[in-house]
Structure 1
Amino acid sequence: MKTAGVIGLGDMGSGLAKNLIAAGFATTGYDLSAARCAALAEMGGAAAESVAAVGAASDAVFVMVMNGDQAREVILGQGGLVDSMAPGGAVILSATIRPREAREIGAAMAGTGLHLIDTPVSGGFPGAQNGTLTMMAAAPAEVLDRFAPVMEAVSAVIHRVGEAPGQGQTVKAVLQSLIGSIFSATFEAAVLAARAGVAGETLFNVVSTSSAGCGCANTALENIIDRKFAGTGSGIGTMHKDLTISMDLGQELEVPLHTAAAAMQIFHAGKSRFPEGDNWACARMIEEIVGAELHR
C-alpha cells in the first residue's frame, strides 16, 4: 500500500495529509476550498479536482468532513468513493458522525469490495498536525492489520474498539460527553476566579498541578488567560456538533446525561454569541454575563 487520500483539508485533514506525505505515502486530497488544495500542493501532495479523482488514486482514503450527510455524499454519492476506488481499498471514516449514520454507510457499502474503517479521532488540531492523534478504530482485525501503516502515519495510539461500523463513533460520542463537560466546568471556574479577583496564572498553576489538572482543563485555561478565543484550531462548532451527537446517543439508549446536557447548553450559547470562535469563547460569553475577565 503506497497511496493515500484525504477528503476535507481543513484544520484536521491538512494535518492528516501532512503526516501521510512525511511517512512516504503518495497523497492526493480534495477540498471545496481552492486555498486548502493549494496548501496541499505546497506540502508535496496532489490536489485533485473531485472526490472521484482522490478515490481513483488511493488505496485508502481518510474522510474528514463535518457531518454525516457530507460523509454519506462523499462515500456513497454519485462520483463518490464507492464509485471510484478499486476493490480492496479502504474508506477510513475519521470524521465524527452519529453512530447510526456510520452503521448506515457500512450497510450500504456491503458487497462493494471496499472496506470501511470507522475510526473517529481525538487530539484536535495539535494532534492532527503533529501526527499524535488517538484513533478509535472499528473494523475486522485483518482489515485493521492491513491498513495499520497508513493509520499509524497520522496517530500515536490506535485503540481497536470493535469490528462493526458505528462502534468507533459510539466510543467517540461517549468520550465527547466527558470532554465537553470538562471544558464547560473549566469555563465556569475561570469566570468564578475572575469575579473573585484571582489572577489567571495563579489559577492555572494550581489547577495544572492538582488532581483537576488534565489536558482539557489546562488547554482551556491557557487559552482563556491568554485571551485566545479564535484561531487556535478548536472551532466551537465542532464541539457543539459532537455534543449534539452525544446527547442523541443518550436519548437513543435512554441514558440520562445531566452534565453533558448542561455542557451542550453552554456550547449552544457560546456558539450563538461567537459563531466563528473557538471552544474557549464560551468562557468569554460567561465573562460578558458577569462583567469580569480572567487575564494572565
Structure 2
Amino acid sequence: MSRIGFVGLGIMGGPMAANLVRAGHRVAGYNRGPAKVERLVAAGGVGASSVAEAVRDAEFVFTMLPDSPDVEAVVLGEDGVLAHAAPGTLLVDCSTIRPDVARRVAEAAAARGVRALDAPVSGGEPKAVDGTLSIMVGGEAEAFAAAREVLGAVGTTVVHVGASGAGQTVKAANQLVVAGTIGLVAEALVFLEAHGVDTEAGLTVLGGGLAGSTVLDAKGRKMREREFAPGFRLELHHKDLGIVQSAAREAGLSIPLGGLVAQLVAAAVAQGDGTLDHSALLRQITRLNGRD
C-alpha cells in the first residue's frame, strides 16, 4: 500500500482516485468542490481540506487539472504541492498541459528534491472509470519504474515515452488524431443522413472495415443520437488543440488538417457548445451544411 495525495477530482480525476483506493492504496483527495471530495470518501478514500493536507506524508502526489495555468498555480504556487511535498516524493501530473510547462514543473520539482513525471491520459471518462486508460509518461526512467505499479491501477497501456515533456508531446499528438477523426466521423454521418441511408447500419459496417476506430466505436452512436453529455468537454479539446498548434510552431511544422479541425472546434466553442462532449463537433458540421 502506498500513501497517495490526489489533487483534482473531476470527471477524470475522481474515478482515477477511486481506482487507486480499490487497488489498496491510501488516497487523500482534494478538490475545490467539496462534493467531489465526499464522493472519494464514500469510495473509501480520505478527504483533504487543502493541497497541503493532501500532500502531507504522501509518497506519490497525483494532479489532474484542467490547464497549464492551473498546474502552475497548484504545483508551483506559494502554498502548492512543492511547498509541502517532502523530498523523495514522486509527483505524477496527469493533466494535459503544454510540454514546456511540464519541463518547467520537473525542473522546479528537482530543485526541491521531488521527482516528477508528466503522465497525461487518454480514454475519456469510461476508461477512467474502468481503470483502462492509456498513459503516456515523460520523465526519468527511474521515476517511471517507481510509479509503474500505481499507474497500473488506473491504466492498462502505460508507456514511458521519453524525457520530461515527452508525455505531453505524445498527448498533443493523440488529441490531434482524436479531433480529426471526430470531425471526419461527423462529416460521414451528415453525408449518410443527407442521402437517406440507415445511419445505424452505415456506421456498423464502417466500424468493421478500415474506417473503423476507437473514436467511431466510442462516439458514433452518441453522435447519431445527438447525445452530447460531456465525457470530455469540447472546450478542453479546444485548449488541447491550442497546445498542438503552439508546439507545432515551435518545431517549425505545418499541420494543415490539424489547423482546420482546430478552427472548427474553436467555432463550435464560440457558438456555445464548449460544455458539451467533444463529439458535439457534429453540431458545427451540421450548421455548416444548414442541417441543424
* TM-score normalised to structure 2 length: 0.95
Partner of 1:96: 96
Answer with 103-112 or 2-11: which moved more: 103-112
Work out whether residues 182 and 281 of structure 2, in 8 Å CA contact, stay in contact via their aligned partners in 1: no
Q: What is the CA–CA distance in structure 2 between the aligned matches of 1:175 and 1:137, rounded to whole Å? A: 13
Q: What is the CA–CA distance in structure 2 between the aligned matches of 1:198 and 1:269, rounded to whole Å? A: 28
Partner of 1:243: 241
How far does the alpha carbon of each residue in 1:218-258 deviate from its partner, in whole angstroms, 9 at most, with x for none? 22211111221124x12111211111111111111111101
SS in 2 for 1:198: coil
Say whether 1:40 aligns with 2:40.
yes
One-letter amino acid of the counterpart of residue 252, structure 1? E
SS in 2 for 1:153: coil
How far does the alpha carbon of each residue in 1:178-211 deviate from its partner, in whole angstroms, 9 at most, with x for none? 1111111111111121122122202211211110
Partner of 1:168: 167
Q: What is the CA–CA distance in structure 2 between the aligned matches of 1:289 and 1:266, rounded to whole Å? A: 10
SS in 1 for 2:151: helix
SS in 2 for 1:21: helix
Q: What is the CA–CA distance in structure 1 between the aligned matches of 2:56 and 2:281, rounded to whole Å? A: 42
Partner of 1:146: 146
Give the CA deviation at 1:110. Answer: 2.4
Q: What is the CA–CA distance in structure 2 between the aligned matches of 1:224 and 1:137, rounded to whole Å? A: 31
Count of aligned residue pairs for this structure pair = 291
Q: What is the CA–CA distance in structure 1 between the aligned matches of 2:142 and 2:4, rounded to whole Å? A: 19
One-letter amino acid of the counterpart of residue 170, structure 2? V
One-letter amino acid of the counterpart of residue 254, structure 2? P
Give the CA deviation at 1:69. Answer: 0.9
One-letter amino acid of the counterpart of residue 192, structure 1? F
Answer with 24-33 or 174-183: which moved more: 174-183
Q: How does 1:95-244 map to 2 (within 5 A)?
A: 95-162=95-162, 164-231=163-230, 233-244=231-242
Structure 1 portions without partners, runs of 5+: none
Q: What is the CA–CA distance in structure 2 between the aligned matches of 1:110 and 1:36, rounded to whole Å? A: 31
Q: What is the CA–CA distance in structure 1 between the aligned matches of 2:5 and 2:109, rounded to whole Å? A: 18
Work out whether residues 17 and 27 of structure 1, in 8 Å CA contact, stay in contact via their aligned partners in 2: yes
Identity over the aligned pairs, expressed in percent?
Answer: 33
Structure 2 portions without partners, runs of 5+: none
One-letter amino acid of the counterpart of residue 211, structure 1? L
One-letter amino acid of the counterpart of residue 216, structure 1? V
Partner of 1:271: 269
Give the CA deviation at 1:291. Answer: 4.1
SS in 2 for 1:234: coil
One-letter amino acid of the counterpart of residue 16, structure 1? M
**After the TM superposition, which parts of structure 1 deviate over 3 Å for at least 4 consecutive aligned residues?**
none
* TM-score normalised to structure 1 length: 0.94
Q: What is the CA–CA distance in structure 1 between the aligned matches of 2:21 and 2:255, rounded to whole Å? A: 41
Work out whether residues 238 and 262 of structure 2, in 8 Å CA contact, stay in contact via their aligned partners in 1: yes
CA RMSD of aligned residues (A): 1.4
Q: What is the CA–CA distance in structure 2 between the aligned matches of 1:113 and 1:179, rounded to whole Å? A: 36
SS in 2 for 1:137: strand
Say whether 1:286 aligns with 2:274.
no
Q: What is the CA–CA distance in structure 2 between the aligned matches of 1:105 and 1:49, rounded to whole Å? A: 24
Q: What is the CA–CA distance in structure 1 between the aligned matches of 2:205 and 2:290, rounded to whole Å? A: 24
Work out whether residues 110 and 116 of structure 2, in 8 Å CA contact, stay in contact via their aligned partners in 1: no
One-letter amino acid of the counterpart of residue 120, structure 2? P
Give the CA deviation at 1:57. Answer: 3.8
Give the CA deviation at 1:43. Answer: 1.1
Q: What is the CA–CA distance in structure 2 between the aligned matches of 1:266 and 1:222, rounded to whole Å? A: 21
Work out whether residues 106 and 117 of structure 2, in 8 Å CA contact, stay in contact via their aligned partners in 1: no
How far does the alpha carbon of each residue in 1:118-162 deviate from its partner, in whole angstroms, 9 at most, with x for none? 111111111111111111112222211122221111110111111
Q: What is the CA–CA distance in structure 2 between the aligned matches of 1:37 and 1:195, rounded to whole Å? A: 47
